[in-house]
Amino acid sequence: MNQIINMIMRTVMRKLLNKGIDAGFNKAASMRGGGKQQQPQGEIDDYGNPVQSGPTQQEVRAARRAKRQGGGQSGQQQTKQAMKMARRATKF
């Protein structure tokens, strides 16, 4: 009889402890400053299609393409400067 009572008590205590631990982790995760925040939902037109409020996909692609092309030139300049420094250092 004593073993059955001990088994039930252990089971109840284990469940309570696990719930407390889970609640603590959830609270800590919700208090964290950064992390995933829900994106605001966009508007929906009369037909149930989402309406984009931000830049279109083509505009995003064009911006990325311009960034890549512009970044290549500055990278080339950095490479040239590094080569000049290497030549000067190995001169004598």
pLDDT (tens digit, 9 = 90+) per residue, 25-79? 888 888 876 555 555 566 777 887 777 666 778 888 888 888 777 665 566 777 8
Query: What single-letter DSSP state applies at residue 68?
Result: H
Give the pLDDT of residue 5.
Answer: 94
Q: Give the whole-angstrom CA distance, residue 48 versus residue 71.
A: 40
The domain of 89 spans 58-92
Q: What is the count of structural domains for the chain?
A: 1
Give the pLDDT of residue 92.
Answer: 62
Give the pLDDT of residue 53.
Answer: 66
Name the 3-class secondary structure at 81.
Answer: helix
Is 63 among the domain residues? yes
Is 64 among the domain residues? yes
Q: Give the whole-angstrom CA distance, residue 61 versus residue 66.
A: 9
Select from 51, 52, 55, 75 the least CA-distant residue to 64.
55
Between 63 and 18, residue with greater pLDDT: 18
Is 21 among the domain residues? no
Give the pLDDT of residue 39.
Answer: 55
Is 75 among the domain residues? yes
